[in-house]
Amino acid sequence: MKRILLTGTGSGVGKTTITTGIMKALSKEHKIQSFKVGPDYIDPSYHNCATGVPSRNLDSFFMTEKQIRQSFKNGMTESKADYGIIEGVRGLYEGISPVNDIGSTASIAKALNAPVILIINSRSLVRSAAAMVIGFKSLDPQINIEGVILNNVKSNKHYLKTKEAVEKLADTPVIGGIVRDKSITMEQRHLGLIPAVEQDRIKGLIEKWGELVEDNLDLDMIMNIMNNSQPIKDEYEPIWSENKTKQKTKIAIPFDEAFNFYYQENIEALEYNNAKIEYFSPIHDETMPDVDALYIGGGYPEIFKKELSQNKKMLNSIKQFSDDNHPIYAECGGLMYLCKSIDNLPTVGVYPFKSMLTKKVQGLSYTIAHVEQDTPILKKGTEYHGHEFHYSKVEYKGSNKNDFAFKMKRGVGITGEYDGLLKNNTVASYIHTHTACLPEFAYNFTQTAYDNE
């Protein structure tokens, strides 16, 4: 499987712009499968727009090495891709620990034996850029850095000087350089980039990124690196449980401007368990579909709170679905939506608590949770990994720990100690989950949906 991993020396070096541009440029003649390192929903939406193929996440906190390889293989096989292009997260070596690889881009590079291209913010750098490359190459000799891209160069003269320094002093080829240009940067929001699903103009911007890459990078060199990818270790582990719900069910999933944070493999795991996915919009549709269960992912309900609040028929239909004891699983934005209100605008009201946007981040962490009560997705006694990233809070006014399904061992959750509000057959938390770290998720959810028909 031919592949390449593009990563940076740190955050803000232009990884998403350059990587997405490469995906767009190469997609003209080749089938590209994209991947994103880490628990990210937004960057993959740009990849999707560039390639026309659903992007996938690779994460060593969620996945074993064998699962990382399985996820990569799944993506390449499902899309029948010619090449796999992986975008890293933060700096190459940044992860949970200051001394090991867990949660880092480096861990993915090693699990997949992937050749690496290092993107450098070369603003005001010449020889120091070479020093950075030498340092990154020497820290872990198992990482195969085969090329460098210089971003934010001042001029062609600056580029040529820095290229000479890197190639002669760090003995690493430079694939090209991108001149500073504010017009190619993307609008930011409190959780990062604006999701591509929201703005048609992003398509035009990605076209521009593709053209920029074609004009300034040596695509033949990138292709050559991928074509010479070394074999991947032939050891794999399933992403989800091989237990399978044999009966057919229907599961509703909201997907629109407000809700669009879903991992591709979570959806595939549900489909593997004979679930038919019914997509709908809590903003634009009148009521939810006629289904057996509801899975509400994260997104930006706080940005679209007025539109969500005004759709009374939809709010009532979801509240009734919960009252009728049908299984509902909700994450982060889904939790906010199921609360009494978002910033004092009425929402579904399964839970009698207010949710609100905050100026400061409330939770930004990988999480570990222990399941204290049975839920539609997990049974009591389970421990699982996830992540949280939210600029919101839920004003929990209760005092009963039995209101919660999850006790936090790592992370903040709703109260700092507990997460997973549980009522009827509905559970909602700030934790985002991936099927690799709770393999029974899809089986449990579809089986509960069938049992409640």
Known catalytic residues? 332
Letter string b/e over residues 98-131, b meaning 16 or more CB atoms within 10 A of that residue's CB: eeebebbbbbbbbbbebbbbbbbbbeebeeebbe
Phi, psi dihedrals of residue 141, rounded to the nearest 5°:
-60, -15
Q: What does the radius of gyration of the chain's CA atoms come to, in whole angstroms?
A: 23
For residues 210 and 118, give the distance between their C-alpha atoms in angstroms, rounded to a whole number: 19
Residue 432 is which amino acid? H
Say if CB 89 and CB 105 are below 8 A apart.
yes
Euclidean distance between CA atoms 182 and 244, whole angstroms: 50
Spatial distance between the Cα atoms of 205 and 186, rounded to a whole number of angstroms: 8
- Calculate the CA 417 to chain-centre distance: 25
Q: Coil, strand or helix: which one is 137?
A: helix
Nearest C-alpha neighbor of 41 from the set 394, 355, 415, 333: 333
User: Among residues 451, 450, 399, 448, which one has the least CA distance to residue 427?
Assistant: 448
